[in-house]
Amino acid sequence: MSIKQDHRHLYLQVIEKIKKDIEDEVYTEKEKLPSEFELARQLGVSRATLREALRILEEDNVIIRRHGVGTFVNSKPLFSSGIEQLTSVTSMIKQAGMKPGTIFLSSSTEEPTEEVMKALHCKKEDPLVVIERIRTANDEPVVYCLDKILEKHVPHDFSYQEESIFHVLESHSAINITYAVSYIEPLGYHEKISPLLECDPETALLVLKQMHYDQNDRPILYSVNYFKSNKFSFHVLRKRI
């Protein structure tokens, strides 16, 4: 069907056509699209119409536009999860049929700040363990993890390279993480974390900040996870009340 034979707004037709071409692998992931002039000519629309379509496609993360370079097909997320489901990074990677791994960066023990004492219901003399790790999927770095937990909850033989802290707490300390209060924020290029995750300059990060609670409503683990936005997508089920 020609674009000119459809009664919808032209830019909507252009969006649908480009998406279909990507699905049909006319254009593959990270491939550069034709120039605006050539693409508008191929589709039989004005450059103004094409630019409006490209603007919306960029907002939807279907494409990436690099100033002075061109327009490229964005990578499809490998992992998708409902944010209302409390799932470990390890489980998310396994559910996608990939092998989870861990690159250990650092661990330290520090005195909790006033803010941490209030959040974790602890005292100043309660040591806090801070762990930095990179989580991998089939050996590709996909998540930077910063975890903070009271030392008293961590088993003495705990290996900071363990993949799932949830599993360690359950098997060694009889602590079951049952829910978390979460906040998610978009973030652009991060000078420290983006290179660790081997991100392109245009690849944004999704930051998930979570306080995890056990079966007795005790705050146990505070984590900040930086997800590569071209690898992960999150959704939420909203019900009308």
- Tens-digit pLDDT profile for residues 35-91: 999 999 999 999 999 999 999 998 877 888 887 888 988 876 666 666 667 777 888
Sequence-separated (6 or more) residues with CB below 8 Å from residue 170: 176, 177
> What residue numbers bound the domain in which 170 lies?
79-235
Answer whether 149's CB lies under 8 Å from 178's CB: no
Q: pLDDT at position 5, please?
A: 53
Number of other residues whose CB lies within 10 A of the CB of residue 218: 12
- What is the CATH number for 211? 3.40.1410.10
pLDDT of residue 24: 87
pLDDT for 81 = 67
pLDDT at position 68 is 81
User: Which of 73, 95, 125 is the last residue before a domain boundary?
Assistant: 73
Q: Do 61 and 104 fall within a single domain?
A: no
DSSP string, the chain: --GGG--S-HHHHHHHHHHHHHHTTSS-TTPBPPPHHHHHHHHT--HHHHHHHHHHHHHTTSEEEETTTEEEEPPPPSEEEETTS---HHHHHHHTT--EEEEEEEEEEEPPPHHHHHHHT--TTS-EEEEEEEEEETTEEEEEEEEEEEGGGS-TT--TT-S-HHHHHHHHH---EEEEEEEEEEE---TTHHHHTT--TT--EEEEEEEEEETTS-EEEEEEEEEETTTEEEE------
Number of domains the chain is built from: 2
46 and 64 assigned to the same domain: yes
Residue 223 sits in the same domain as residue 194: yes
Q: Is residue 15 part of a domain?
A: yes
Asked, for residue 241, whether it belongs to a domain, the answer is no
DSSP string, 99-131: -EEEEEEEEEEEPPPHHHHHHHT--TTS-EEEE
Q: Which of 42, 73, 104 is the last residue of a domain?
A: 73
Q: Kindly state whether residue 103 falls inside one of the protein's structural domains.
A: yes
Question: Cα(91)–Cα(80) distance, rounded to whole angstroms?
Answer: 12
Neighbours of 3 (CB within 10 A): 16
Q: Are both 86 and 156 inside the same structural domain?
A: yes
pLDDT value, residue 83: 67
- Using only C-alpha atoms, the chain has a radius of gyration, in whole angstroms, of 22
What is the pLDDT, as a whole number, of residue 2? 46
Question: Would 19 be classed as within a structural domain?
Answer: yes
Q: Are residues 185 and 95 in the same domain?
A: yes
Is 43 in the same domain as 93?
no
Same domain, 212 and 165: yes
Q: Are residues 116 and 213 in the same domain?
A: yes
Ramachandran category for residue 55: left, alpha or beta (phi over 0 → left; psi -120 to 50 → alpha) = alpha
Domain boundary among 30, 46, 73: 73
**pLDDT tens per residue across all 241 residues of the chain:** 345 555 558 889 999 999 999 888 898 888 899 999 999 999 999 999 999 999 999 887 788 888 788 898 887 666 666 666 777 788 888 887 889 999 999 989 999 999 889 999 999 999 999 999 999 999 999 999 999 999 988 877 776 666 678 888 888 778 999 999 999 898 988 999 999 999 988 788 999 999 999 999 999 999 999 999 878 777 776 777 7
